[in-house]
Amino acid sequence: MPRTFRCLAVRLTLTVAALAAGAAVSAETGHDLWLRYAPLADGAARAAYRQSASAIVVPLATPTGEIVASELKRGLTGLLGAEIPRADRPSSAGAIVAGTPASPLIAALGWTETLARLGDEGYVIRAATVGGVPATVIASKGEAGVLYGAFHLLRLIQTGEPLLRVDIAERPRIARRLLNHWDNLDGSIERGYAGRSFWWPDRVDARVVDYARANASIGINGTVINSVNANPQSLTAPLLEKAAAIAAMLRPYRIRVYLAANFSAPRTIGGLATNDPLDPGVARWWRAKADEIYRLIPDFGGFVVKANSEGQPGPQDYGRTHADGANVLADALAPHGGVVMWRAFVYNADVDPDRVKRAYAEFVPLDGKFRANVFAQVKNGPLDFQPREPFHPMFGAMPKTPLMAELQITQEYLGQSNHLVYLAPMWKEFLDADTFAKGPGSPVARVVDGSLEGKSDTGIAGVANTGLDANWTGHDLAQANWYAFGRLAWDPGLGAGAIADEWIRMTWGDAPDVVATIRSILLDSREAYVHYTMPLGLHHLIGGDHYAPMPENTDSRRADWSATFYHRADASGIGYDRTRAGSGGVEQYQAPLREWWSHPASTPDDLLLWFHHLPWDYRMKSGRTLWDELVLSYGRGVDEAKGLELRWATLRGRIDEARYQAVLAKLRRQSDDAKAWRDKCVAYFEAARTRRP
Ligand code: GCV
């Protein structure tokens, strides 16, 4: 066949194939997240699941029970393409039965001991005989567990796992699994890139319900609905009533409401003369406020507080410590079972010249001085949600204080909603990092889940990336980060790849080539982003928008908001010296890390310039000079970003066109931005390197 005809034939075949595939994939907005419940493509699988889903039996006559039943119905009907009826009891083989031992159907199974061990949020999903017929049972000691189990069962079907002989027992490893919304009362969202708030100023009910479903499906059990830069008005009666109405909507989904509190509330809204935490009038005010809140929200979770940080008021305004401040709120909440999450994101310049040392310096000496119901809430790294940081040295250094890990789902420094950065690999790096607090094998995850230091109350918070955008997160692929946060909060041992697989199958379809392509795109994205923005441990090379490259940024307001403060590039070299000869930051880590990271040769390449200032001709492990390695990394990042786009382009016709095009446009922008990062940074560092002293 002549070449032109051959090309035409190939193109025609491709077009027909694309159209055929396109016909099967309808336009989607992304609103349905991973709960699309699209009909299973494989007819045989559908038929097999139908055998195991002849009826839905939920003997749990509560609002949560109602949600379980309706979600199972919605999910099964969608996935299996047939109406699955609800029934009071199983009458034929293949019912799905979900409940607690309060129902005789579940009690008769004799699983009480197992369920007690798994707790109120844990569950089993097992094939069993119920009322004389074979059934699939979702059972839990508590209603929350039944809800989580129901979503797990739907996930099994969504991801093609067989139900026959299913035998699953799960419980969460971390008790408090929270989202933190940085939503302001006027509806704007600090560091939000996906539209306005659905809480404020007026609640958007349809959103709230779907938000609750999505969170329940991944085990999120708490939410802070206002920004940590808290408006004191949040604690006034009218806004507490609004919070109570939100709490009422979320309660059946087993999500508790928490609030960010402003430390100045006693003065600003209470009319007191002081906020001094040791003042009896202030303590009385917080107690009365807690009582008022619990009258409105009986299951209120507690307060998160940003104090003496970035201009926020706090106990140090009165010469008191962070512990004094946290404890006065903790005492007010304790009679009701509430907790305080006192943020350790503090970096007062007079504490230490090196910003990353300041939180540790202020908090670690207070270990043992906080009330039992106080968490120190600590970001994953000691600076501020950079694309790569070593873990925060407070993890493993405060054995007497529960530490709530704070991760950022919204991508403030990671391309916001324009760049794809799948965050699970970064979070895994953090959770798996060995603190050596109790010798080798003391990973951050075991500090956070309490097992390393015998802590009973445990928590993890993720700064939400949601808003009113149709697809919730601005970038369709950023939904994966919300999903991954929930899954890791439930079980920090899960793998980033396994989580990606689940999410892709539920969100995009389960054709093996589609899954493999999206999986590889997700898994490569974080390292690509690091390569073209902040390679070799460089950090904070941005300006105030925290988006565009700005290595020249020298902020006149605060040195530690600059880029030059961190990279220190000049003719002599580049990087921040945190060895003993420098800021001494390495000393905040346990041995042997402090030894390893004191020497460039035993510091991993990807943290090299975090810990060391090195000459441009420093010889890297690769044999290249530092300068060559840096340039190579920027170039590699650009190629990798382009690779993400090209791989995505192969999905044309294999997924719905609307989301395909939306993501393609974002990946093109990412690819262009990557070049801008490379060009700007390489030119800037080249000039610094060659400038005469
Ligand atoms: C909520 C960074 C962000 C701020 C944020 C702060 C914090 O500095 O840029 O927007 O404020 O972290 O975590 O409190």
Distance 347 CA to ligand 1 centre (A): 12
182 lines ligand 1 (CB under 6 A): yes
Instruction: Specify the ligand 1 atom closest to the Cα of 191.
Output: 10
How far is Cα 494 from Cα 489, in angstroms, rounded to an integer? 10
**Is any ligand 1 atom within 6 A of the Cβ of residue 228?**
yes
Known active-site residue 66 = no
532 close to ligand 1 (CB < 6 Angstrom)? no
Q: How far is the CA of 322 from the centre of ligand 1 (A)?
A: 18
Residue 692's pLDDT is 79
Compute the distance from residue 308 Cα to the ligand 1 centre, in Å.
13
Let me know if 384 is a catalytic residue. yes
384 lines ligand 1 (CB under 6 A): yes
Residue 229: CB within 6 Å of ligand 1?
A: yes
d(CA 195, CA 187): 9
> How many CB atoms lie under 10 A from the CB of residue 298?
12
> In angstroms, what is the span from residue 229 Cα to ligand 1's centroid?
8
Q: Distance from the CA of 375 to the center of ligand 1, in angstroms?
A: 19
Q: Check if 306 has its Cβ closer than 6 Å to any atom of ligand 1.
A: yes
Please give the model's pTM, rounded to 2 decimal places.
Answer: 0.96
Decide whether any atom of ligand 1 lies within 6 Å of the 190 Cβ: yes
Output the six-digit token pair for 235: 């604690």
Q: Cβ atoms within 10 A of the Cβ of 498, count?
A: 12
**Cα separation, 306 vs 314, whole angstroms:** 8
Catalytic residue among 28, 183, 412, 656: 412
What spacing in Å lies between the alpha carbon of 191 and ligand 1's midpoint? 8
- Ligand 1 close to Cβ of residue 520 (< 6 A): no
Q: Which among 170, 384, 406, 577 is annotated as catalytic?
A: 384
| 187-197 mean pLDDT | 98
Bridge partners of 376, per DSSP, are 342, 403
Tell me if 538 sits within 8 A of 566, measured CB to CB.
yes
Q: Is 28 a catalytic residue?
A: no
Question: In the structure, what pLDDT confidence band is assigned to residue 26 with cuts at 50, 70 and 90?
Answer: low
What are the residue ranges of helices labelled H in 275-394?
280-296, 322-333, 358-363
Rounded to an integer, the average pLDDT of 2-12 is 38
Return d(Cα 619, Cα 286) in angstroms, integer. Answer: 58
pLDDT at 13 over 70: no
Q: What is the pLDDT of residue 10?
A: 36
Pocket test for ligand 1, best of 180, 181, 182, 347 (most atoms within 8 A of CB): 182
pLDDT tens digits, one per residue of 200-255? 999 999 999 999 999 999 999 999 999 999 999 999 999 999 999 999 999 999 99
Atom of ligand 1 nearest to the CA of 228: 1
Other beta carbons less than 10 A from residue 271's beta carbon: 8
Q: What is the DSSP string of 594-635?
A: HHHTTSGGGS-GGGHHHH--B-TTPBPTTSSBHHHHHHHHHH
Reply yes or no on whether the pLDDT at 9 is more than 60.
no
- 21 pLDDT above the threshold of 50: no
Annotated active-site residue in 66, 241, 292, 310:
310
| Strands lying side by side in the sheet with 133-139 | 55-57, 95-99, 133-139, 123-130, 167-170
- From the CB of 191, is ligand 1 less than 6 Å away? yes
HEC profile of 40-70: CCCHHHHHHHHHCCCEEECCCCCHHHHHHHH
Predicted pLDDT of residue 16:
35
Alpha helices (runs of H) in 165-229, residue ranges in sequence order: 205-218
pLDDT tens string 597-610: 999 999 999 999 99
For the stretch 82-100, pLDDT in tens is 999 999 999 999 999 999 9
Find, among 477, 471, 466, the residue nearest to 418 by Cα: 477
Q: Which atom of ligand 1 is nearest to the CA of 227?
A: 1
Instruction: Find the radius of gyration of the CA atoms of the chain.
Output: 26
For residue 309, the ligand 1 atom closest to its alpha carbon is: 14
Report the chain's mean pLDDT, rounded to a whole number: 95
**9 Cβ contact list (under 8 Å, min separation 6):** 1
Cα 602 to averaged position of ligand 1 atoms, centre (Å)? 32
Q: Which atom of ligand 1 is nearest to the CA of 546?
A: 9
Tens digit of each residue's pLDDT (9 = 90 or more) over 484-508: 999 999 999 999 999 999 999 999 9
Most ligand 1 atoms within 8 A of CB, residue of 183, 193, 310, 378 to mutate: 310
SS3 250: helix
Model pLDDT for residues 34-47, shown as the tens digit of each residue: 999 999 999 999 99
| Nearest ligand 1 atom, CA 229 | 1
CA–centroid distance, residue 188 to ligand 1 (Å): 14
The pick from 191, 343, 406 for probing ligand 1's pocket by mutation, whose C-beta has the most ligand atoms within 8 angstroms, reads 191
Encode pLDDT of 531-580 as tens digits.
999 999 999 999 999 999 999 999 999 999 999 999 999 999 999 999 99
- Which helix (H) or strand (E) segment holds residue 261: the answer is strand 256-261
CA nearest ligand 1 atom 7, residue: 345
Q: What band does 15 get if pLDDT is binned at 50, 70 and 90? A: very low
Q: Retrieve residue 25's tokens.
A: 């994939």
d(CA 522, CA 425): 9
Distance 637 CA to ligand 1 centre (A): 27
- Any atom of ligand 1 within 6 Å of the Cβ of 345: yes
518 alpha carbon – ligand 1 mean position (Å) = 31
Over residues 519-523, mean pLDDT? 98
The rounded Å distance from CA 310 to ligand 1 centre is 8
Ligand 1: which residue has its CA nearest to atom 13?
345
pLDDT above 90 covers a percentage of the chain that reads: 96
CA distance 155 to 33: 13
Ligand 1 atom closest to the CA of 463, numbered from 1: 13
- Determine the pLDDT at residue 571: 97
Of all protein residues, the one whose alpha carbon is nearest to atom 2 of ligand 1 is 384
Residue of 189, 384, 386 to test ligand 1 pocket, by largest number of atoms within 8 Å of CB: 384
